Structure 1
Amino acid sequence: MKYDDFMGQVQNRLELPDTGRAVRATRAVLQTLGERLQEGEAEDLAGPLPMEVDFYLHVAESGQRFDYDEFVGRVADRANADRADAAYYGKVVVGLVSEHVPAGEIEQVRAQLPDDYADLFDLMDAEEVEE
C-alpha cells in the first residue's frame, strides 16, 4: 500500500476534512504506540507499512510504561484533539494497521500491552465478530 492510499483511508474512516489532519492523527497514534512498545516490536509492526508511516513508530523512545489513559492523553495532545476523538483515532488507525500487517504481529502487540488497552482493539474485534 502506498502512503497516499493509507492516509486517504485514515481520512475517510475518521471523516476528516483534509489529509493534514489524517497525517496528524496517524502520527499521534503511531508515535505514542511506538513509545509504549518494546523497540523490536515497534520495528516488526512498522515493517509492512508504507515507509512514511512506519517512520512514526521508529521516532519514538520505545519501551515506556504508561496506561491506556495516558496513551489517549498523549494522542490528544499530539493530534490537537479532545480525548474522545483521540481514543477513536487510536481505534481506527490501529484497525487500519491491522489490515496491513500479519495477524501474528497484532497479537504480539496486544500481548505486550496491559488489559486496559483492550479498547484500542475494539474496531478490529468488532470486524472479526461480523465475519
Structure 2
Amino acid sequence: MNFDEFTGQVQHRLSLPGTGEAVRAIRATLTTLGERVQEGEANDLAGSLPMEIDYYLTDAVADHGQRFDWSEFITRVWEREGMTDRDDRADAAYHARVVLDVVTEVVSPNEIRQIRDQLPADDGWDELFEVVDQER
C-alpha cells in the first residue's frame, strides 16, 4: 500500500474532510506508538509502511520504550492531533484504533503480535486493537 492509499483509507474510515486531517491522525498515533515500544520494534514496524510515514515511528520525539498507560497514550494522540475539547479524547482513541487497523493491512501478523507483546495486557491496551480484533 502506498502513501496515498494508506492516507485515503484512514481518511475514508474516519470520515475526515481531507488528507491533512488523516495525516495528523496517522502522525499522532504512530509517533506516540513509537515512543511506547522499543526502538528495534518501531524500526521493524516502520519498515513495512510507506516511506512518507514510516519515520513517525522511528523518529519519536522522545526516547523509545517509555512506560505509559493507555490513558496517557490517548492524551498524547489527542494533543498531537491538535484537539482542544476534552470530550474529543474518545475521538482520539478511535482514530488510533483505525490507524492501527490500516497498519495491520500493510505489515505482517507477526509484527502486530510483537507490538502487542510489548504492551501490558492488563492496562487497557487491548482497546488499541479493538477494531483489528473485530474484523478478524
| TM-score of the superposed pair, with normalisation by structure 2 | 0.92
Amino acid at match of 2:52: E
Equivalent in the alignment of 2:109? 103
> C-alpha distance in 2, partners of 1:80/1:114?
27
2:125 counterpart of 1:117? yes
Over aligned residues, Cα RMSD in angstroms? 0.7
Amino acid at match of 2:70: Y
User: Which structure has the highest helix share of the two?
Assistant: 1
> C-alpha distance in 2, partners of 1:59/1:42?
9
Q: Structure 1 stretches of 5 or more lacking a match?
A: none
Equivalent in the alignment of 1:34? 34
Q: Structure 2 stretches of 5 or more lacking a match?
A: none
Displacement of 1:4 in angstroms is 1.1
Displacement of 1:68 in angstroms is 0.3
> C-alpha distance in 2, partners of 1:62/1:126?
29
> C-alpha distance in 2, partners of 1:37/1:52?
20
> C-alpha distance in 1, partners of 2:8/2:100?
15
User: What count of residue pairs does the alignment treat as equivalent?
Assistant: 128
| TM-score of the superposed pair, with normalisation by structure 1 | 0.95
